[in-house]
Chain A
């Protein structure tokens, strides 16, 4: 009898443990906060002309491919002020992840890598983090000569080795780190 009494006591104490289970029936939807769905490179000429190169992937890690668009026309031999924006459009309103990049500027750098550069375009960093190394959100873009099929790869790298050889000049070779965004823009210079 004694054993049975103990047995029931133990079951009782166990059910106390168990009763903290969660039984919400409909799960809450998760709209990912850190996903970058959109990379926008906005180029503003002194004339006020604006060109926007954009890569947008509205299903994040879903199967749909990113959609590349270009608004406006890049004119030859023109200097533009470049400003890059990383957005999460899964959230409404869209979250501007660029702000986080700037907040943690020491841990981030944007790289602009030409794989085809018929125009001889150049991108120069115009911003610095607190250590005096470039971040790459703000740039100067020189369009170069009239040409077609220029390919610019933009990479946002998390925890790069900012003091690596050539890294502060925009050379990604020794940057290491992990890639948070990687988009390819193709454009013509008119």
Chain B
């Protein structure tokens, strides 16, 4: 942001003598950031049509001036031309500050995909527009898997939750254009509400090192940024159309941007996606269609000195959930697990019936910044988010078309930060954040609330420092304090309240007794301190190392505290716990990076120790009229996660390139001496790419090989099946076998005119139509994953 344009400030003095055309104008040109002199600038004086040049000290002098207006146009190789005017009433001395980093800026503008990292010492990977465009018809969770160490936990093919080093949901922070996404991310079947088409660049930061974004990112941070603004009078756009064979899906996305030289900008983007039922190699996955509509608007003015931005984003996703995954009780689950094929297979259709979810996320923000000479930059931001979530279950009678879950989550955030970058060796940043959140669970569903009504208040304050020790070594350090208060109103069955033992510990929370149900008002406060420290050492041109330590903690989310009831799609009763405390993570990481024109290697290792790690596991069985259900409770333990992510790229010659991305993660429950659940198995992705200058042709073949997860907790249980009068083992734990998928991708770019081009991409995923089930897909008990998918995409850039 800082390197935008030219700035100019301030004056010193002026005195007058009362003679005409004898005045002298003396000036000094300085860099806005560090005040260093700008030499060899050309100064054009409009009134006299004459030129002057600044000397080694940045000074220049114009003599024999008359009283009146003096207009100067200052130009310099590394600065954008700037015109300034002065009223001359006597001899005058002025310091003129100009922005000196314009060269760097122009590079950004021209190529539009230069790595701009958010952090200095964290394990960060940047995905650029060229990569993201391959995922236009898919989801952001699919795109993030381009990063070694990032996987996803899925519910079918459309609900894709990103997972960083085995951690997901509330342990990740998702930022959309500098707004922390508040979209009920606690649920495993709640995918992030970000349209991948609205992103121009995505940074994945592993671990909690980026304290400016929050102190509770035990897993990591995903930063989604829109396109950079550049100062040029231009209007351009792109339109993408795609179609795919599997699910007979199609999508359209279009984006139009207008920029001006003065810094004004406006950009609109809209996307539409639809697909019908997906197919495995052998059968149709009934009711897996989805429908998505997205729209974003962004506008404002950006100059070096000050600027503002208005941003609005709308995203609606209607996603069908595999019909066969709706089960009534544990007997249904047993028959589903034992059946090789889903129990419901119907003909292909675009219809989306229950069970399904319909989620609308709206985000609006206004941001203003101002830069002060010799000081730094102040940002002020307000954002509002509205997340409306409907979930539809298979219901009977009058309730057939009524949502079973209707949650409205509204969040207001006011934040401000100050970046001090006037010193060349130090960069300091301070920030403060206040947030109010309200969750409203509509009782008209006629179903007891899964998440109660609550008000949540967050307050955060942080400071980060970056210090360039010398040309090779950069150090950074950060401190953050967060306060969270959750004030909920929840109904409990009296029987549940007593069974949980809350009548002893929390009887003072009861505000109303309705006989079979109690209304309680828990108010919990959490104080969290986070720390981060790291170094970045550039040994030489090729080799660099980074190291980072971070301490972070996360308070329990509403689901962990308040869950209480039957989760239909999982056929289990899930119970939260009011006694849960925050979990605290200590994470150390080290990376090695080798960089040359022919070969690049990044090796990232981490160890994360988490005290009071919150997780859910089965603890027993409860009988209801529907039959028996296993009870899964949120518990706490001490856990450790460690692993290594490798990413290598080798250019064999101008045409052939090999790349490898591999990731291995281990998760252990230290207290109970057993593995953690849902940790991704070893995965390795190898690609060979052929490129040719002819029409920028490229073709690549990728093998994506996921091993069988052999480290998993045994949560199997036995249940009595009355219909067959037998006790059977319900195997919910054993991961599916390893699988290897081959994917093909090819593209050409045709120049359609001097300024326009057409990019045509053909891809085939799961080329060999392999049958497989993924450990990290919650629907793996019910059906195989998607079979071959041929996709054609046209992108017209204009």
Q: What is A's interface to B at a CB cutoff of 8 Å? A: 3-4, 6-7, 10-11, 14, 17-18, 21-23, 25-30, 32-39, 55, 57-66, 90, 97, 100-101, 103-104, 107-108, 111, 113, 115-116, 151, 153, 155, 157-159, 172, 176-184
Whether the Cβ atoms of A66 and B308 lie closer than 8 Å is no
Contact with A along B478-516 (1 / 0, CB 8 A): 000000000001010111100100000000000010101
A59–B625 contact, CB under 8 A?
no
B497 → chain A closest CB, angstroms: 9
13 A-B Cβ contacts within 8 A?
Answer: A3-B307, A3-B308, A22-B408, A26-B519, A29-B517, A34-B397, A60-B493, A61-B448, A63-B495, A100-B396, A111-B723, A179-B332, A182-B625
Question: Which residues on the B side are within 8 Å of A158 (C-beta)?
Answer: 328, 394, 396
Interface window among B192-200, B423-431, B435-443, B754-762: B435-443
> Roughly how many angstroms separate A113 CA and B629 CA in the complex, as a whole number?
20
Pairwise interchain contact B519-A30, C-beta atoms closer than 8 A: no
Within the complex, what minimum Cβ distance (angstroms) separates B433 from chain A?
A: 17
Q: Which of A7, A17, A100 has the most CB of B within 10 A?
A: A7
A97 CA to B626 CA in the complex, in Å?
14
Interface centre among A21, A32, A178, by most chain B C-beta atoms within 10 angstroms, is A178
Whether B449 and A30, one on each chain, are in contact in the complex, defined by CB atoms closer than 8 angstroms, is yes
**A160 nearest CB across to chain B (Å):** 11
- Interface contact B489-A26, CB-CB below 8 Å: yes
B187 within 8 A of A: no
Per-position binary interface string of chain B over residues 622-638, scored 1 when its CB falls under 8 Å from any chain A CB and 0 otherwise:
11111101000000000
Among residues 716 to 756 in chain B, which have CB atoms less than 8 Å away from a CB atom of chain A?
722-723, 725
Among A7, A66, A103, contact of B397 (Cβ-Cβ < 8 Å) = A103
Residues of B within 8 A of A155 (CB): 723
* A63 near B499: Cβ-Cβ < 8 Å: yes
A58 to B565, CA, bound (A): 15
Residues on A with beta carbons closer than 8 Å to the beta carbon of B160? none
Q: Which residue of B lies closest to A99 (CB)?
A: B397
Closest A-chain residue to B339, C-beta based? A176
Contact A27 B308 (CB under 8 A): no
Q: Render B283-307 as a binary contact track against A, CB cut-off 8 A, 1 for contact.
A: 0000000000000000011000011
Of the candidates B396, B438, B495, the one whose C-beta lies within 8 Å of that of A34 is B396
Q: A60-B493, A176-B343 are in contact. Are A115 and B722 (CB under 8 A)?
A: yes
In the bound assembly, the distance between CA atoms of A157 and B622 in angstroms comes to 20
Interface flag for B788 (CB, 8 Å): no
CA distance A159 to B353 in the complex (A): 14
Closest chain A residue, CB of each to CB of B383: A14
Question: A29 and B519: CB pair below 8 A?
Answer: yes
A38 to B626, CA, bound (A): 10
Choose among A33, A62, A158, A159 the residue with the greatest number of B CB atoms under 10 Å from its CB. Answer: A62
Interface 0/1 of B613-629, CB less than 8 Å to A: 00000000011111101
Q: A104 to chain B: closest CB distance in Å? A: 6
A27-B441, A182-B331 are known; give 8 further A-B pairs, CB within 8 A: A55-B625, A59-B516, A63-B499, A63-B622, A100-B397, A104-B396, A158-B328, A177-B328
Instruction: Tell me if B364 counts as interface (CB < 8 A to partner A).
Output: yes
Whether a CB of chain A sits under 8 angstroms from the CB of B794 is no
Contact present for B626 and A14 (CB under 8 Å): no
User: Which of A30, A37, A103, A159 is close to B625, meaning CB atoms less than 8 Å apart?
Assistant: A37
Given contacts A21-B410, A21-B438, A182-B626, contact A29 B397 (CB under 8 A): no
| C-alpha spacing A32/B453, complex, angstroms | 17
The 6 closest A-B pairs by CB, nearest first: A179-B328, A178-B328, A182-B627, A115-B725, A100-B397, A62-B493
Chain B residues closer than 8 Å to A181, beta-carbon distance: 625-626
| One of B443, B453, B626 near A179 (C-beta < 8 A) | B626
CB distance from B69 to the nearest CB of A (A): 22
B748 CB to nearest A CB, Å: 43
Tell me the bound Cα distance from A60 to B566 in angstroms.
10
B327 contact set on A, CB distance < 8 A: 178-179
B384 A61 Cβ-Cβ under 8 A: no
State how many residues of chain B have any CB contact under 8 Å with chain A. Answer: 65
Which residue of chain A lies nearest to B573 when distances are taken between CB atoms in the complex? A61
Q: List the B side residues contacting A35 at CB < 8 Å.
A: 625
B456 to chain A, nearest CB (A): 13
Set A34, A36, A108: member contacting B395, Cβ < 8 A: A34
Which residues of A sit under 8 angstroms from B134, Cβ to Cβ?
Answer: none
Evaluate whether A30 and B499 lie within 8 angstroms (CB atoms) in the complex, with A66-B624, A104-B396, A178-B394 already known. Answer: no
Cβ–Cβ contact B453 & A64, under 8 A: no
**Nearest A-chain residue to B364, judged by Cβ:** A14
Report A-chain residues with C-beta under 8 Å of the C-beta of B453. 27
Would you call B697 an interface residue if the criterion is a C-beta within 8 Å of the partner chain's C-beta atoms? no
Set B301, B364, B491, B725: member contacting A30, Cβ < 8 A: B491
A64 cross-chain contacts in B, Cβ below 8 A: 495
Give bound CA distance, A38 to B449, whole Å: 22
Instruction: Check B382–A14 contact: CB distance below 8 A.
Output: yes
User: Using Cβ atoms and an 8 Å threshold, which residues of chain A touch B514?
Assistant: 29
Contact across chains for B624 and A57 when beta carbons are under 8 A apart: yes
A159–chain B nearest beta-carbon distance, Å: 7
Q: Does B795 contact A (CB under 8 A)?
A: no
**Contacts A3-B301, A29-B517: A10 and B625 contacting too (C-beta < 8 A)?**
no
Interchain CA distance A46-B722 in the complex, whole Å: 31
Q: Chain B's nearest CB lies how many Å from the CB of A95?
A: 10
Determine the chain B residues whose CB is within 8 A of the CB of A29 once the complex forms.
Answer: 443, 491, 514, 517, 519
Please, which residues of chain B bring their CB within 8 A of the CB of A58? 516
Is there a chain A Cβ closer than 8 Å to B113's Cβ? Answer: no
B722 to A113, Cβ gap below 8 A?
yes
Decide yes or no whether B432 CB sits under 8 A from chain A: no
Residues of B within 8 A of A107 (CB): 396
Of listed A17, A64, A104, A153, residue having the most chain B CB within 10 A:
A64
Task: Decide yes or no: A179 and B447 within 8 Å by CB, A36-B626, A59-B516 being known contacts.
Answer: no
Q: Is B366 an interface residue (CB 8 A)?
A: yes
> A115 CA to B726 CA in the complex, in Å?
9
How many Å lie between the Cα of A32 and that of B331 in the bound state? 23
- How many whole Å from B576's CB to the nearest CB in chain A? 14
Interface positions, chain B 389-437, Cβ under 8 Å from A, are 394-397, 399, 408, 410, 412
- Give chain A nearest CB distance to B413 CB in angstroms: 12
B443, A27: Cβ atoms closer than 8 Å: yes
Known A178-B332, A182-B722; contact A4-B368, beta-carbon cutoff 8 A = yes
A27 and B449 CA atoms in complex are apart in Å by 10
Q: What is the CA–CA distance of A63 and B499 in the complex, to the nearest angstrom? A: 7
Residue of B whose beta carbon sits closest to that of A21: B410
Q: Which of A59, A116, A172 contacts B495 (CB 8 A)?
A: A59
Write out the residue numbers on chain B whose beta carbons fall within 8 Å of the beta carbon of A104.
396-397
A60 CA to B496 CA, complexed, in Å: 11
Which residue of chain B has its CB nearest to the CB of A4?
Answer: B368
B394 touches A34 (CB 8 A): no
CB contact under 8 A between A27 and B445, given known A115-B722, A176-B343:
no
A33 to chain B, nearest CB (A): 4
Residue B344 at the A interface, CB < 8 A? yes
> Is B328's CB under 8 angstroms from A7's CB?
no
Q: How many Å lie between the Cα of A64 and that of B622 in the bound state? A: 8
Which residues from B are CB-within-8-Å of A22?
A: 408, 438, 440
Q: How far is the CB of A21 from chain B (nearest CB, A)?
A: 5
Known: A3-B308, A18-B412, A39-B625. A62 touches B384 (CB 8 A): no
B447–A32 contact, CB under 8 A? yes
| Contact (Cβ within 8 A) A30 B308 | no
When the two chains form their complex, are residues B366 and A11 in contact, meaning their CB atoms are under 8 A apart?
yes
**Bound-complex Cα distance A88 to B95 (A):** 82
Q: Smallest Cβ distance from B384 to chain A, in angstroms?
A: 6
Does B68 make an interface contact (CB < 8 A)? no
Give bound CA distance, A29 to B310, whole Å: 40
Give the residues in chain A near B364, CB-CB below 8 Å: 14, 17
> Which residue of chain B has the shortest Cβ distance to A64 in the bound complex?
B495
- Asked whether A180 lies within 8 Å of B328 as measured between CB atoms, the reply is yes
Q: Does B35 lie at the interface of the complex (its beta carbon under 8 Å from any beta carbon of A)? A: no
Decide if B609 is an interface residue (CB 8 Å cutoff).
no
B723 and A27: CB pair below 8 A?
A: no
Could you tell me if B627 and A17 are in contact, using CB atoms closer than 8 angstroms? no
